[in-house]
Amino acid sequence: MADKNLERRQILDPSVADLLNGLEERQKEAHLPRREREKKARERAKIKARREQRTTYDLPPAIRQHIKQMGEEQHLPASQLVTLALFRFLQQIEAGQIDLSQYKQPSHSPRYDWNLVFPEDWYKKI
């Protein structure tokens, strides 16, 4: 049986591989009918326009689930609910209504000095 720890060798520079994939995809597109080419171009423009708005954070799964559920109940996009929550959070921070220091614990990470540790019951309430 093959050793599961074996890693496939990288035979191309990763950036060159990305570039080649993109170029090959575009060449395939060039052979599509005009309507499909236009559709692809629109999709690309849409993705490009949204690029600035996208980000990735690690969140507790319970919060993610709760936001998703709320979005479905209210018939609203989850992104807009999160945007509302963050606006309110920033306003409260600005007004001095939230004190981060009460949640701060020293971090062992070389990258950060602190972690925010939240009360256990917050997770239960969600």
Partner 1 sequence: MKIISFANQKGGVGKTTSAITLAAGLALGGVRTLLVDLDPQGHVAFSFGLDKSPGLYRLICLNEPLHQTTINVRPNLDLLPSDKNTEKVKRQITISDFRETILADRLQSSSYDVILMDMAPSLDVLHVNGLMASHWVIIPTRLDALAVDGVREILLTMGEITKRGYRFQGYNILPTFFDRTTRETLTQIQSVVQTFGKRVWPPIPQDTRVREATAYGKTLWEFSPNSPAMAGYQDGTKQIGGYKQALQRLMEVIDG
Is 15 one of the binding residues for partner 1 (CB under 8 A)?
Answer: yes
SS3 state of residue 115: strand
DSSP letters, 24-68, are HHHHHHHTS-HHHHHHHHHHHHHHHHHGGG-------HHHHHHHH
Give the nearest distance from C-beta 123 to partner 1 in angstroms: 32
101, 85 in Cβ contact below 8 A?
no
Is residue 24 a contact point for partner 1 (CB under 8 A)? yes
Query: Is 22 an interacting residue with respect to partner 1 (CB under 8 A)?
Result: yes
Q: What minimum distance in Å lies between the beta carbon of 37 and partner 1? A: 15
The DSSP output letter for 33 is -
- Single out the residue of 50, 51, 75, 108 in contact with partner 1 (rule: CB under 8 A): 51
Residues that bind partner 1 (CB under 8 A): 10-13, 15-16, 18-20, 22-24, 27, 51
